[in-house]
Structure 1
Amino acid sequence: MKNRFYKTGILFLHTLRRDWLKLLIWAVALSLFTGGFASAMYEIYGKDPAGLMAMYVTMNNPAMITMLGPTAATAETYTVGAMYAHEMILFTALVFGIVSIIHVISRTRKEEDDGTTELIRSFQVGRLASTTAIVIEMFLLHLVIIALSTGLLQVQNVPGMNFSSNLLYSTSLGMQGFLWAMIALIFVQLGAGAGSARGLSFLTLGFFYIVRMATDMNAPDASWFNPLGWSYLVNVYVNDNWVPIVIAIAASIVFLAFSYLLEQARDVGAGYLPERTGRAHAKERLLSLPGLILRLQKIYIIGWLFALFICGAMYGSIFGDMDDFVSGNEIMKQMFLHNANYTIQEQFMSVLFIVLSLLTTIFIVGSLMRIVNEEKKGRWDQLYATKLSRTKFYWYHVILTSILGVMGQFSAILGLYLAQRSVMETPLSLWVITKAGIAWVPAIFFFIGILAILIGWLPRFTVIIWSYLLFAFFVSYFGQMMDIPEFVINLDIFGYIPKVPIEEWKWGTIFLIKLLALCMIVIGFIGYKKRDLVNE
């Protein structure tokens, strides 16, 4: 067994030398995101008991529980710390999980696919040395994040947020990152390639998120069997339960050991899940560029359209209980019932589509990114060498992505409509819900425009789009709850979209956003047509 880890230290130093800048940026960014807003929360809510109680009522409605999980706090024990953890911990755990999955797979299975691992193993290194180096790197990264975020929370000196609770909060999130890194290692062994491993990892993460929606509402004890549940079950700033941390550590060790067992018996570049045997002759539609693009993204498209439908249905399923929930609650009436001409469902729906539209944006950004990601891997070279023009190549991808943006939004609209129709005595019409959802499509197209410019002029920096998407989500989601400066809010494209039906259509604004998106797409095309090809 010792020989299997031979030269782990050298490989770790090599990996750290290569990744140190990226890891440093991640550590700072994740630490700031984890603990950077506690003092702002205190300034807004901590000095006003009525405001804190209003947040307690708001965060305990069914919609918030499905999104953010439950809280163990009561009205008497709902402090600023409890509110901060309730609002942030599950969403931040998802971010940690996504970052860990992406990094682990890119440094393990992707390097196998590129031939780097085979080259390294041609030297005198242990079979498990490369994987162990990544495990050590991830462990140290999350230790640093835990230390930084705990210190950041501590220096803000928020009343009720003491050191032990701050440490538990940071440790819970750090363990989520490391835990999902170990889960990703298992799919590295099972998948047929990096894409398969990444898809299985994200599918598992999404599956557990959706499952906990049901268990948090109907069977809270079942959330103990959910890895994501171990983030908020620590009940930090309420009764500080360290048991979920111990469970997460034990599970991480088990997952790591299992991945080692799988890797020992696996050939480099192979996976345990069988690859489907392809056809001896390609179908006729694969002889066209649109057919090829659709075939390459078929599973991705189907999976996302189904996920958006489920998300819409999930939110629609709580519409039937909202009248009863709000009717006897004056605080909730003040927070939601701003316009007597519209029902609580209509007013809540206008906010709900912010989340659904952001999910659709993630879907279409991932689709359009394929044009440059495949180029970096050299997979388009044979097509570029033919008579196929870059003009067709570019516009086919952009047009497909635009169509998918509309389809994704309609999928969420349909799920919301069918679910609310099954639970409401007087359901909203399809037209009302469609108007509320379709109003956000121009903002989705705006992201296509930004990404088009990056693809055309800065293809090596397309990852920047995810930073802006994260920024837009944060401002849209937390903007009304935190005292964010006006000039920062103005940078969020979603802030310019009218919240139909309670707000009137802003035809001038909608037209301008569409025009800007089209101009950026054309500018991106000019750069794409002239630039050299890129590779990794």
Structure 2
Amino acid sequence: MSGGAPTATGGHDLAGTGVLYRLALRRDRIALPVWVYLGTAMVASTVFSFDKLYADEASRRTFAAGIDGNGSLRALYGPVFDGSTTGGLTAWRMGVFGAVLAALMSTLLVVRHTRAEEEDGRLELVGAGAVGRRAPLTAALAAALTANAALAALVAAALLAAGQDAAGSLAFGLSLGATGLFFAALAAVTAQLAETARAANGLAGAAVGAAFVLRAIGDSGTGTGRLGWLSPLGWSEQVRAFAANRWWVLLLPLAGAALLTALARTLVARRDLGAGLLPQRPGPAAAAPALASAAALARRLQRGPLLGWTAALAVGGAVFGGVAKGVVDLVGDNPQMAEVLARMGGQQGVLNAYLSSIATVFGMVAAVYAVQAVLRMRAEEVSGRAEPVLAGAVSRLRWAAGHLLFPLLGTALPLAAAGLTAGLAEGLALGHGTGPAVGRMLGATLVQLPAVWLTAAAALAGYALLPHRAAAGWTGFGVFVLVAWLGPILRVPQAVLDLSPFSHLPHLPGGRLDAAPLLWITALTALTAAVALAGLRRRDLG
């Protein structure tokens, strides 16, 4: 895969790295800024909220003391190391989830520019030129370094702009960036192990999940605090930004990233191009009768992600439902906190407001799956696999219908799973019966479906009408989620909030079920999908 000297050990194994690095940034010129903006906006909105809710040090310390005695919230967010400043509370609230966001951004980026390129055959064409064996891997890691450096710098700048301590702001930003670098290097290893991009992402995602669980057990206050040190996410919070500012802890993720990078560079030279180090199970010589139609093939391609997202939302429902009692105890008599929760979803008390807000979050997460399911058609098209299917007696609309069943009907499964587990966990935590709690939460999650459908229809329109713009399918999702998520916190005008279908949904549990917005959102979904399918029929594929 290189021109000139042998690339496994020779001096040309990095040839072309600069070109591939610039190409990676060019291809992700929209996706990466969105990831970085999302992380920065989450931190900025959080520090803004805490500044409004707890304007004096006494109220902040009282809030932090409530968290210290609440094991469920510590397991979810971690302990508060500095309860005297707004920056310290922001580090508590966003430290773990900001690190998770950096980890996901990094793993997806590295796999996209390494294993995914091999799987699609593009890396073989690139390697036919003067490109070194390790150049694609090095370029992908350099792009991840750039993205995480930008995230760290902008997060620190946002905290500084909010009037927070400079050292704490820098420590917090660097903790997120260093965590992202660790998981970028980990993804570089999984890209060598797995033969497909989906499997590589799955291995890296499982590592992120395991790190979260280890950290949660360590922070839960059950005498297992040392387990947190086994988790890269635990390292991020142990920097203790705005408290001790332990800079030496940053050496742990950086050293881990260096070791994993060295391992990935060794592995990439020891395997064949296009192959993974983990053995693949051979498939049957002939297709089963159940794969005799385009819809059956779509079902086979889509079932894995559907089951994965269903399991993820089920776990999320159990976690967030289980901390319902902790949230109620923490809010107590704080009217400002109750007001914010009520503004984000629900009018019938703190508990209903909290449950309504997490139901909205589940709807947004389900919308991510819906967009991915729609854009599977784009992946099939650009890889050339859709062409032989459509060469037979299969129309474009029939082919699209097989895939669209999943974002339209399949999204009900992960939402129902989230509602079921959240209701069970909430009922057990509060001791008021699981049956009524499950019913309330199922209604709250399933009412998100029209907004999820409209998001999927917007993605379909982007794919069908603007096929050569990679971010077109995600544009609607980005607008809908950012408006609904950050709008209430930032108190944006109602006209802006109205841009998101999630802002029009009934606030359940606790609110009134109004069918009108559900009907007009569904009608708008049908209209958008019809326009998109008409465009898909008329344009050239590929």
Aligned with 1:459: secondary structure? Answer: coil
Task: Provide the C-alpha distance between the structure 2 equivalents of 1:173 and 1:16, rounded to a whole number of angstroms.
Answer: 22
CA contact (8 A) 1:312 1:413 kept: yes
2:203 pairs with 1:200: yes
CA contact (8 A) 2:115 2:191 kept: yes
Amino acid across the alignment from 1:372 = R
Task: Provide the C-alpha distance between the structure 2 equivalents of 1:27 and 1:341, rounded to a whole number of angstroms.
Answer: 37
**Cα displacement string for residues 8-54 of structure 1 (whole angstroms, at most 9, x for unaligned residues):** 56412211332344566566555554556278458635745577568
2:506 pairs with 1:506: no
2:364 pairs with 1:358: yes
The residue that corresponds to 2:456 in the other structure is: 448
The residue that corresponds to 1:69 in the other structure is: 78
The residue that corresponds to 2:235 in the other structure is: 230
Amino acid across the alignment from 1:291 = A
Which deviates further from its counterpart, 514-523 or 86-95?
A: 86-95
The residue that corresponds to 2:246 in the other structure is: 241
**Cα displacement string for residues 255-295 of structure 1 (whole angstroms, at most 9, x for unaligned residues):** 11221232222111111221112123322111022221111
Per the normalisation by structure 2, the TM-score is 0.86
Amino acid across the alignment from 1:265 = R
2:181 pairs with 1:178: yes
Cα offset for 1:478?
A: 4.0
**Cα displacement string for residues 199-231 of structure 1 (whole angstroms, at most 9, x for unaligned residues):** 222232234334433433244432221112222
Which residue of the other structure, out of 89, 93, 109, is the alignment partner of 2:95?
89
Which deviates further from its counterpart, 39-48 or 415-424?
A: 39-48
Which deviates further from its counterpart, 251-260 or 182-191?
A: 251-260
CA contact (8 A) 2:76 2:216 kept: yes
2:398 pairs with 1:388: no
2:6 pairs with 1:14: no
Which residue of the other structure, out of 469, 492, 515, is the alignment partner of 2:523?
515
The residue that corresponds to 2:441 in the other structure is: 433
CA contact (8 A) 2:346 2:511 kept: no
Cα offset for 1:250?
A: 0.8
Instruction: Rate the CA distance shift 1:462–1:493 in 2: closer, same or farther, 3 A.
Output: farther
Task: Provide the C-alpha distance between the structure 1 equivalents of 2:316 and 2:462, rounded to a whole number of angstroms.
Answer: 30
Which deviates further from its counterpart, 213-222 or 449-458?
A: 213-222
Which deviates further from its counterpart, 51-60 or 13-22?
A: 51-60
Q: 1:264-303 alignment to 2 at 5 Å?
A: 264-303=269-308
Which residue of the other structure, out of 385, 403, 411, is the alignment partner of 2:417?
411
Task: Provide the C-alpha distance between the structure 1 equivalents of 2:81 and 2:520, rounded to a whole number of angstroms.
Answer: 46
The residue that corresponds to 2:323 in the other structure is: 318
Which deviates further from its counterpart, 296-305 or 335-344?
A: 335-344
CA contact (8 A) 1:8 1:130 kept: no
The residue that corresponds to 2:261 in the other structure is: 256
Task: Provide the C-alpha distance between the structure 2 equivalents of 1:50 and 1:444, rounded to a whole number of angstroms.
Answer: 42
Per the normalisation by structure 1, the TM-score is 0.87
Task: Provide the C-alpha distance between the structure 1 equivalents of 2:463 and 2:35, rounded to a whole number of angstroms.
Answer: 26
Task: Provide the C-alpha distance between the structure 2 equivalents of 1:441 and 1:261, rounded to a whole number of angstroms.
Answer: 47
Amino acid across the alignment from 1:426 = H
Task: Provide the C-alpha distance between the structure 1 equivalents of 2:165 and 2:119, rounded to a whole number of angstroms.
Answer: 46
Instruction: Rate the CA distance shift 1:142–1:390 in 2: closer, same or farther, 3 A.
Output: same
CA contact (8 A) 2:78 2:237 kept: yes
The residue that corresponds to 2:380 in the other structure is: 374
Q: 1:487-506 alignment to 2 at 5 Å?
A: 487-506=495-514
Amino acid across the alignment from 1:240 = N
Task: Provide the C-alpha distance between the structure 1 equivalents of 2:441 and 2:126, rounded to a whole number of angstroms.
Answer: 55
CA contact (8 A) 2:15 2:135 kept: no
Aligned with 1:281: secondary structure? Answer: coil
Cα offset for 1:3?
A: 6.1
The residue that corresponds to 1:168 in the other structure is: 171
Task: Provide the C-alpha distance between the structure 1 equivalents of 2:326 and 2:94, rounded to a whole number of angstroms.
Answer: 25
Aligned with 1:369: secondary structure? Answer: helix
Amino acid across the alignment from 1:87 = R
Amino acid across the alignment from 2:88 = A
Task: Provide the C-alpha distance between the structure 1 equivalents of 2:531 and 2:397, rounded to a whole number of angstroms.
Answer: 13
Instruction: Rate the CA distance shift 1:148–1:491 in 2: closer, same or farther, 3 A.
Output: same
Instruction: Rate the CA distance shift 1:335–1:149 in 2: closer, same or farther, 3 A.
Output: closer
Instruction: Rate the CA distance shift 1:300–1:227 in 2: closer, same or farther, 3 A.
Output: same
**Cα displacement string for residues 394-428 of structure 1 (whole angstroms, at most 9, x for unaligned residues):** 22222232111111211111212333344443225
The residue that corresponds to 2:219 in the other structure is: 216
Instruction: Rate the CA distance shift 1:47–1:443 in 2: closer, same or farther, 3 A.
Output: same
The residue that corresponds to 1:469 in the other structure is: 477
Task: Provide the C-alpha distance between the structure 1 equivalents of 2:304 and 2:383, rounded to a whole number of angstroms.
Answer: 20
Task: Provide the C-alpha distance between the structure 2 equivalents of 1:472 and 1:64, rounded to a whole number of angstroms.
Answer: 28
Task: Provide the C-alpha distance between the structure 2 equivalents of 1:344 and 1:166, rounded to a whole number of angstroms.
Answer: 31
Task: Provide the C-alpha distance between the structure 2 equivalents of 1:380 and 1:396, rounded to a whole number of angstroms.
Answer: 12
Task: Provide the C-alpha distance between the structure 2 equivalents of 1:378 and 1:311, rounded to a whole number of angstroms.
Answer: 36
CA contact (8 A) 1:286 1:292 kept: yes
Compute the RMSD of aligned alpha carbons: 3.2
CA contact (8 A) 1:97 1:177 kept: yes
Aligned with 1:273: secondary structure? Answer: coil
**Cα displacement string for residues 43-93 of structure 1 (whole angstroms, at most 9, x for unaligned residues):** 63574557756865787766654544332123xx2x121123233333332
Instruction: Rate the CA distance shift 1:484–1:305 in 2: closer, same or farther, 3 A.
Output: same
Which deviates further from its counterpart, 369-378 or 477-486?
A: 477-486
2:109 pairs with 1:103: yes
Cα offset for 1:532?
A: 0.8
Note the residue ranges of structure 2 that are not aligned, 5 or more in a row: 1-5
CA contact (8 A) 1:451 1:462 kept: no
CA contact (8 A) 1:58 1:332 kept: no
CA contact (8 A) 1:326 1:332 kept: no
Cα offset for 1:326?
A: 5.5
